[in-house]
Amino acid sequence: MESRNTLIKAAAIAIEEISIEGLTVREVAKRAKQSTIGIYRNFNGRAGLLDALFVQGFERLGTAAREAGKRESDPREAVLAAVREYLLLARKQPQHYRLMFNPQTTGYAPSSEARTIALANYEFFVALVARLEDIGNEARRIAADLVAMVHGHVVLRGQNFGPDMEPQEWSAQIMRRVERQLDLLQSKTA
């Protein structure tokens, strides 16, 4: 298992430094100081390694949502904490984010198993949204709306569309927009 984790970590660093498209089995093996056989044994090649990165990213977001739900008694703060983790991933690991949320631009197609795991982890965010006051059976729609809004800002930022600002200010601006959406939601239910 340690060998597998070492390879995943090496691949995560490599995609940020050389891009997803430039990632090779040989490059990951070299960075992990292992043979390429380990990648084929553990992942069945490059596609399996990318699946592992895809799953790792969604598990990270799922864990963040679960932890926010345990840590924050205020449902609104729990949702905001999960969104902050999403933005942190987008800002600190843009290639990993692209692999997860825009894989078609990379030439990678997640396996059905990887997609199933991704969707299962998304359900933790939906559960956080469901804790918001008076939303009835709208949690899934509201969660999708919030993710779409944040993702839209991330994509625009990635295309250098919009004001030039420091990454922290960009994140703060998006968080203010999410808070505004939550305010609007709560005013409609009040």
Which CATH number belongs to the domain containing residue 157 in this structure?
1.10.357.10
Mean pLDDT across 123-134: 92
What percent of the chain shows pLDDT beyond 90?
A: 76
pLDDT in tens, 162-182: 777 788 888 899 999 999 999
**Within a domain: residue 87?**
yes
- Report how far residue 86's alpha carbon sits from residue 73's, in angstroms, rounded to the nearest whole number: 20
72 burial via Cβ count (<10 Å: 0-12, 13-18, 19+)? middle
**Within a domain: residue 8?**
no
Instruction: List, in order, residues 6 or more apart from 34 with CB less than 8 Å away.
Output: 3, 6, 7
What pLDDT shows up at residue 166? 85
111 burial via Cβ count (<10 Å: 0-12, 13-18, 19+)? middle
CB atoms within 10 A of CB 39: 26
**Within a domain: residue 74?**
yes
**Within a domain: residue 62?**
yes
- Report how far residue 5's alpha carbon sits from residue 11's, in angstroms, rounded to the nearest whole number: 10
What pLDDT shows up at residue 135? 84
**Within a domain: residue 153?**
yes
What pLDDT shows up at residue 159? 80
What pLDDT shows up at residue 140? 94
Structural domain range at position 142: 51-189
**Within a domain: residue 10?**
no
What pLDDT shows up at residue 42? 93
**Within a domain: residue 83?**
yes
**Within a domain: residue 44?**
no
Global pTM reads 0.89
Q: How many domains does the chain have?
A: 1
Res. 186: pLDDT tops 80: no
pLDDT in tens, 75-113: 999 999 999 999 999 999 999 999 999 988 888 999 999
pLDDT in tens, 139-164: 999 999 999 999 998 888 878 777 77
Mean pLDDT across 42-70: 95
C-beta separation of 154 from 87 below 8 A:
yes
Helix (H, G, I), strand (E, B) or coil at 22: coil
- Report how far residue 81's alpha carbon sits from residue 68's, in angstroms, rounded to the nearest whole number: 6
